[in-house]
Amino acid sequence: MFSNYLSHKIADMEVYLVGGAVRDTVIGRPVKERDWVVLDSSPEEMLQLGYRPVGKQFPVFLHPETHEEYALARTERKVGKGHGGFDFQTGSDVTLEDDLLRRDLTINAIAMDDKGELIDPYGGLEDIKNRVLRHVSQAFGEDPLRIFRVARFACQLPDFSVSSDTLKLMEQIAVNGELLELSAERVWSEFSKALLAERPEQFLTTLRTVKALAFWFPEFSEVSCSIPGGLITAESRYASLGWELSPSQAIAVSSRLRVPKRFSKEIFNIASYGRMLSEWRKNQAWKVVEALEVARVFHDIEKGYSLIDIVGACSREDLHTLKQLVIDIKNSDLIPDFSSDLKGQELGKAIRSERIKRVEAKQN
């Protein structure tokens, strides 16, 4: 299997499959992408062989045909703050073990050679057997993003637990305030991946355990971080977190993380109208209609269904009647007798009045 992915152009180099591809192969999970590490080469040689450089911090190249990532084996040393605050060294004296030592978790520090043999200098196979997420070395603490990566792996590998030593190290990093060095884009990248995982709520739960919520997710420090089952998209899962937030808190967390607009709108709608819509029969009809209009439910029926589904999942209420009411109103000619005589605001008021009447009729 391994040899099928080797190019003849690098047949004379030492090339190893590393990271998530090896981990997932051992665990028995589908391999989504492959990363490679190249020993005893140079940026000049990789360029001569047609590899395309990517990234500015260290030498990583894309294969000219497969477009998979090939990185020169390297060591790294923290010399400053932030993602760019590292000094990287490559060269013939950098060994595979040196390269694997800089990785975050032991389960990600396993390599495979061209014969399919595993190289596991730091106990990753044993940790996979025992279902443990454990840092490779104290160098883990040099990149604070690794706190969020571990939280993400806790979501993606739900039968794994974080080792007590790693949890202590994560808490030390958080308490030292190093999480503030990160960019919103990097934090959101990890969170958005976690939202698609098997157990997405473990992301915020893990951060709470190591006292790391206060920096990027303070809104969730005192509320439930649960995400109801049945929601499968990242947008709906993120939006469901608004169930425990005020509208201002929903705005704050989305702004801080710089989330895409479709995410920020969904969580704001749940925070603003979720609980009211879950009890729509008990609330004044005009408030129900106003909420549905502000959320633009009648303009985009699919988004409207999504909003109601999220509310139903969070509240555990059967909102089938509300969904049917929305589609009925959407498809009805609300003012057939006098619509031609009304324009602008007057037409809008008439349409809203008819919508309110329809809701009232179903509330009784």
Q: Give me the pLDDT at residue 3, please.
A: 47
**Cβ distance 304 to 297 under 8 Å?**
yes
* More reliable by pLDDT, 185 or 224: 185
Whether the per-residue pLDDT at 238 is higher than 60: the answer is yes
All structural domains of the chain, each given as residue ranges with its CATH number in brackets, are 1-130 (3.30.460.10), 144-214 (1.10.110.30)
CA torsion through residues 55, 58, 59, 60, sign: negative
Say what the pTM is: 0.87
Q: What is the average pLDDT across 23-48?
A: 91
Lowest average pLDDT, out of 2-11, 144-153, 333-342, goes to 2-11
- Contact residues for 150 (Cβ-Cβ < 8 A; gap 6+): 104, 105, 133, 162, 166, 170, 206
* More reliable by pLDDT, 229 or 194: 194
Whether the per-residue pLDDT at 140 is higher than 60: the answer is yes
Whether the per-residue pLDDT at 341 is higher than 70: the answer is no
Residue-wise pLDDT tens digits, 115-132 = 899 999 999 999 999 999
Residue-wise pLDDT tens digits, 260-284 = 999 999 999 999 999 999 999 999 9
- Residue in the structure block whose two tokens are 């009211």: 276
Q: What is the average pLDDT across 219-223?
A: 93
Q: Give me the pLDDT at residue 5, please.
A: 47
178: confidence class by pLDDT, cuts 50, 70, 90: confident
Residue-wise pLDDT tens digits, 144-172 = 999 999 999 999 999 999 999 999 999 99
- Contact residues for 301 (Cβ-Cβ < 8 A; gap 6+): 326, 327, 330
For residue 218, give the amino acid letter: P
**Cβ distance 207 to 178 under 8 Å?**
no
Phi and psi torsions of 125, nearest 5°: -65, -40
Pairing type for strands 69-72 and 35-39 reads parallel
Q: Which residues of 13-32 are buried (b: 16+ CB within 10 A; e: fewer)?
A: bebbbbbbbbbbbbeeeeee
* More reliable by pLDDT, 14 or 195: 195
Q: How many CB atoms lie within 10 A of CB 69?
A: 19
**Which of these, 135, 43, 139, 142, lies nearest to 83 by C-alpha position?**
142
In whole angstroms, how large is the CA radius of gyration of the chain? 26
Lowest average pLDDT, out of 4-13, 21-30, 81-90, 250-259, goes to 4-13
Whether the per-residue pLDDT at 4 is higher than 70: the answer is no
Q: Give me the pLDDT at residue 97, please.
A: 95
- Measure the CA angle with vertex 137, ends 132 and 140; round to 5°: 90
**Which of these, 166, 97, 109, 171, lies nearest to 134 by C-alpha position?**
166
